[in-house]
Amino acid sequence: MEMLLVEQLSKSFGDKILFDAISFSIEKGERIGLVGVNGTGKSTFLKILAEKEVADSGKVKHPKDFLVSYLAQDVELDQSLTVLDEVFTGEAPITVAVKEFERARLDLEKDPVSEPFQQQFERAQNKLDRLEAWDHDTQAKTILSKLGITDYEQAVSTLSGGQKKRVALAKALIQPADVLILDEPTNHLDHSSIEWLEQFLPSYRGALILVTHDRYFLNRVTNRIYELDKGNLYRYVGNYETYLEKKQVRLAEAERAEQKHANTLKREIAWLKAGVKARTTKQKARIDRVHQLKEQSFEKQQGKVDLSVASARLGKQVIELREISYSFTGVRLFEPFSFLVKPEDRIGIVGPNGSGKSTLLNIISGRLTQEMGELIVGETVKVGYYTQDHSEMDEGLKIIEYIRKTADVIETTDQQTITAEQMLERFLFPRSQQWTYINRLSGGEKRRLYLLKVLMEEPNVLLLDEPTNDLDTETLAILEDYLDGFPGVVITVSHDRYFLDRVVDQLWIFSDGKAVDTYYGNYTEYLAASKEEAHQAKQVEKQTETKAVDKQRKKKLSYHEQKEWATIEDDISALETAIEEEQAAIVAAGSDSEAVRIHFNKQTELEAKLEEKMERWEELSLMVEAFSD
């Protein structure tokens, strides 16, 4: 069912066309991932759909009672409100009712004997009953807790930037809406929160359109991909993996068509130059045809970022950390940490926000001095530091001026000498744009320019602090390819699972105020090992508790327990088969979002039952073992 219709939508930024006369519709249950190189207008596109910005021309049509819930990339919250009050700001009747109930409940808790407060609370209860909104309040608190926000009465003004983004995300998720629009929802989320969001969004009742750099997330959540490229909108049915396959085919076909067109044009021009004698009308027709062929355009292979910058030679001694530690406002961020960094090491730093990851990078780069311990840096080490906020970027400069401050010419890995202008072109900044002021660039374009500056310094030790934030998926893929062949050391802080899997082969794992652990392997392997370790610890704990109980009881299984024990393994097997059937049904449903939602909910229900059965099996097996002993 069509909910949103867009007709001939156009938007320009100065002399740059973001999108030109694009038309499409969005239907209920569609989960759309919006992709494109930074600067193509993805965030502007979302703002127009959310009616936060106006298009130059075109129409966005929807029913009168149509509701949109929107998460902006740069969130703006009311600093005077508490977390819960901010989450429940909105005009939807359910949202208003829940907000009134929460306020009435808090007032009554402060003064339980107040008759006006009791009456206010009763009215709020009745209103929730009428709207059947009790689950809405519970869902809001569940979403907040899943996103790491547990103090609902905390003032918004006291939250960190990452916490504010998570509150804004929770607010967007709980608002009843026909279309949910999310701009970079995974920024500032840890792995467990992203994993929960991946499970939550497929069952969202409305349509969904999002921009994200997290390719695992994009692949698992979407069933449509929209691509903005050179003012055009290309639409694909399927997830991100399917999009990559179909785009490759489309570009190959366009390239073949362009070659055929070029050959035809070459023949026509040769014919004209030869001055073939023919009737005037026929010759004029062929001349007109040449002009038409010249004007005809074909989609060419999209411009690609070229990361072929050379790096300085790196000796055997790189960096050694000896009992390094640091405190902030009297609180130790992490216990003394020692590590010997070797040439060609690829290290990922993971852990919760505020645990000291960026602090350690600042210590290694020399921007901070450690509180205790010793940092030994080799004589040949040349650090390139891609910071999270690129605060040193002077946005009053023009693009070319900013790059020339680093170097006018550089040498590439294939020993070519190229100018700053040429290097900018390789980074998708054409000559026509190079005299543009930096403050006129999009957030993603600024990040790409900043990355170029860091690489042009020809480092042999790269420190990357959340490099995936605000970089488009295509630039990230090329950065990953570059790092594959980078001859120096890479140390990166990131929450992006795909990026970590591609780039690193060992991890430094931070946790609040504790020792830094090390793990040799990629991020997915670490997560799997952590889950297995936690599962085994839980099993040992359960076995210990059950054995203690059994030693006290030391009794034979009851009649009902014996019957249960006789059939429980068959029950488990049946549940596993049913889950596999639901998973197959989800795949078979394809783009039928309602069917996907139904089968996903059924799968979740069966998985919960299976977990209960497994726990019961463990209890009964321990009882049998205890009795046999």
The per-residue pLDDT for range 473-503, each reduced to its tens digit, is 888 887 888 888 888 899 999 988 889 999 9
Q: Provide the domain limits for residue 121.
A: 80-159
Same domain, 291 and 323: no
Same domain, 283 and 324: no
* Domain assignment of residue 314, yes or no: no
Cβ–Cβ under 8 Å, residues 222 and 35: no
Cβ–Cβ under 8 Å, residues 73 and 186: no
* Domain assignment of residue 229, yes or no: no
pLDDT at 268 (0 to 100): 63
Q: β-strand 207-211 against 179-183: which pairing, if any?
A: parallel
* Domain assignment of residue 290, yes or no: yes
Cβ–Cβ under 8 Å, residues 345 and 364: no
Q: Which residue has the tokens 């966005």?
A: 60
pLDDT at 477 (0 to 100): 82
Number of domains in the chain: 4
Same domain, 276 and 326: no
Q: Which of 129, 159, 189 is the last residue of a domain?
A: 159
pLDDT at 279 (0 to 100): 46
Q: Which residue has the tokens 């591609």?
A: 502
Q: Which of 468, 492, 521 is the last residue of a domain?
A: 521
Same domain, 369 and 481: yes
Using alpha carbons, list the distances in angstroms from residue 176 to 172, 201, 444.
9, 13, 30
Contacts of 571 (CB under 8 A, 6+ apart): 613
Backbone angles phi, psi at 83, to 5 degrees: -55, -50
Same domain, 414 and 515: yes
Backbone angles phi, psi at 243, to 5 degrees: -55, -45
Beta-sheet strands, E only, within 523-577:
none
pLDDT at 324 (0 to 100): 93
Same domain, 422 and 488: yes
The distance of Cα 586 from the centroid of its chain, to the nearest Å, equals 23
What is the token pair recorded at 338?
């020692």
pLDDT at 32 (0 to 100): 95
What is the token pair recorded at 240?
């991100």
* Domain assignment of residue 179, yes or no: no
Q: How far apart are CA 556 and CA 550, in angstroms?
A: 10
Contacts of 265 (CB under 8 A, 6+ apart): 290, 293, 294
Strand order in the sheet with 16-27: 16-27, 2-13, 57-61
* Domain assignment of residue 305, yes or no: no
- Per-10-residue mean pLDDT of the chain, 629 residues long, equals 84 86 91 90 92 91 86 87 80 73 82 84 82 71 85 85 87 87 88 88 89 90 91 90 85 76 66 56 58 53 58 84 89 91 92 87 92 92 86 86 87 77 84 89 86 87 88 82 86 91 92 87 89 80 66 64 86 89 76 70 84 85 69
Using alpha carbons, list the distances in angstroms from residue 288 to 282, 285, 403.
10, 5, 46
pLDDT at 208 (0 to 100): 94
Same domain, 330 and 280: no
pLDDT at 272 (0 to 100): 59
Give CA torsion, residues 354, 360, 362, 366, to 10 deg: 160
Same domain, 273 and 138: no
Same domain, 402 and 327: yes
Q: How far apart are CA 611 and CA 407, in angstroms?
A: 60
Q: How far apart are CA 445 and CA 451, in angstroms?
A: 10
Same domain, 434 and 328: yes
Q: β-strand 31-35 against 224-229: which pairing, if any?
A: parallel
Same domain, 250 and 356: no
* Domain assignment of residue 617, yes or no: yes
pLDDT at 491 (0 to 100): 96
**CATH number for 426:** 3.40.50.300
Q: Which residue has the tokens 């990922």?
A: 348
Tell me 516's DSSP state. P
Selection from 73, 75, 135 nearest residue 447 by Cα: 73
* Domain assignment of residue 284, yes or no: yes
Same domain, 373 and 431: yes
* Domain assignment of residue 546, yes or no: no
- The CA angle 210-305-500, to the nearest 5 degrees, is 60
